[in-house]
Amino acid sequence: MLQRPRRNRKSEVIRQMVQETYVSASNLIFPLFIVEGENQKTEVSSMPGIFRYSIDNLLREVESCMKLGLNSFDLFPNIDEALKDKYATESHRDESLYLRAIRAVKKEFPESCVITDVAMDPYSSDGHDGVVENGEILNDETLEILGKMALAHARSGADIIAPSDMMDGRVGYIRKTLDDAGFTGVSIMSYSAKYASAFYGPFRDALNSAPKFGDKKTYQMNPANQREALIEARLDEAEGADFLMVKPGLPYLDVIKLLKDNTELPIAAYNVSGEYAMIKAAVQNGWLNEQRSVTEVLTSFRRAGASAILTYHAKQVLENKWL
């Protein structure tokens, strides 16, 4: 036999010599949930090890992550039901929980990278990512609200704005809104290919943000479609996105690879709440080895072509020196 591929696997030294992909702390983005109040830290029941923090505890959490070399955070707010309305006005009110949290993190940790989520659902009394009229999700009316939200985030110090709503034209609208206000340096990480997925369940528990009626299929993508992701990616690129995201992660590795092969922009993968919950549940049952399964999953995103990985495993992986 001329070719014996096993020769390159015969020792740890040689295996490492030919290793093609790595995950490092600099690739990881840690999503963090925020709640109103003081000294709050409540666990999300469907996401063991993941908590909702009040701003004071959020700062301590960010600090401990940064000591581990984890410097990028994506913030998500749990909003009191009484503050929600049809137009998500709480999303751009100057003293809202979310804007206070962004300011607090950037003030105390100016060198951190704060990514903010632009979408109406945590603030919407309908639990949808757009304005609802007669059961329909309105696109262009929603853009105006997204623009206000993005601008409020930029003013509060956000480094990267991440629109996660899947309305048409939102990247261009947000880019123009930011540029017109002088925020030309604020980046946009677009959720380009975001699928109508069952794997967001635990996240909606964390934020209490599930849709009050219907589903998100008129705006999020059909899980059966790959080529449609290219249409979304091309539009986002043309409209000025700096990163393209694929979400969820594991069931869509083919889409990550497809976008990687069709754009020069960096790709982000969102290893979503349900993917996290799946592994945690299996680990708690003694069915999977946590270190090996988590590092294998993270490596798969890098192999598929993702530069950045949004993952709830980020802190634990670094605390335990699993990379």
CA–CA dist 306, 258 (Å, integer): 11
# chain residues binding ligand PBG, by CB under 6 A: 11
Give least dist CB 204 to ligand PBG, A.
6
From 119, 277, 297, 308, residue interacting with ligand PBG (rule: CB under 6 A): 119
- Considering only residues 293-322, where is the footprint of ligand PBG by CB under 6 A? none
Q: Does residue 194 have an active-site annotation?
A: yes
Shortest Å, Cβ 39 to ligand PBG: 25
Per-residue contact flags (x/-) with ligand PBG for residues 158 to 197, judged by CB under 6 A:
------xx--------------------------------
Question: What is the phi/psi pair of residue 309, to 5°?
Answer: -125, 115
Residue 86 is among the residues annotated as catalytic for this protein:
no
Q: Which of 10, 41, 67, 247 is labelled catalytic? A: 247
User: Which of residues 57 and 142 has its CB atom nearest to ligand PBG in the complex?
Assistant: 142
Cα 189 to Cα 186, 230, 257, 259: the distances in Å are 10, 16, 17, 14
Residue in 61, 90, 126, 129 binding ligand PBG, rule: CB under 6 A: 129
DSSP alpha helix (H) spans, 109-250: 139-156, 170-180, 201-207, 227-238
Kindly list the distances between the CA atom of residue 15 and the CA atoms of 12, 19, 22, 219, 241, in Å, as whole numbers in the listed order: 5, 6, 13, 44, 37
Considering only the stretches 65-73, 106-114, 178-186, 199-207, report the one whose residues sit in contact with ligand PBG under the rule CB under 6 A. Answer: 199-207
Distance CA 77, CA 53 (A): 9
Identify the active-site residue in 10, 41, 67, 194: 194
Does 121 participate in binding ligand PBG (rule CB under 6 A)?
Answer: yes
Residue 116 neighbours by CB distance under 10 Å: 28
Does the CA dihedral 302-21-32-40 come out positive or negative? positive
**Least Å from the CB of residue 232 to ligand PBG:** 15
Select from 90, 117, 159, 237 the one that contacts ligand PBG (CB under 6 A).
117
Residue in the block written with tokens 């380009």: 192
CB of 112 to ligand PBG, least distance (A): 20
| Cβ atoms 192, 232 nearer than 8 A | yes
With contacts defined by CB under 6 A, name the span among 56-64, 91-99, 200-208, 225-233 that binds ligand PBG.
Answer: 200-208
Query: Which residues within the stretch 231-270 sit at the binding site for ligand PBG (CB under 6 A)?
Result: none
DSSP string, 64-78: HHHHTT--EEEEEE-
Residue with tokens 């950037």: 106
Residues found near ligand PBG in the complex (CB under 6 A): 117, 119, 121, 129, 164-165, 200, 203-204, 272-273
Catalytic residue set: 194, 247
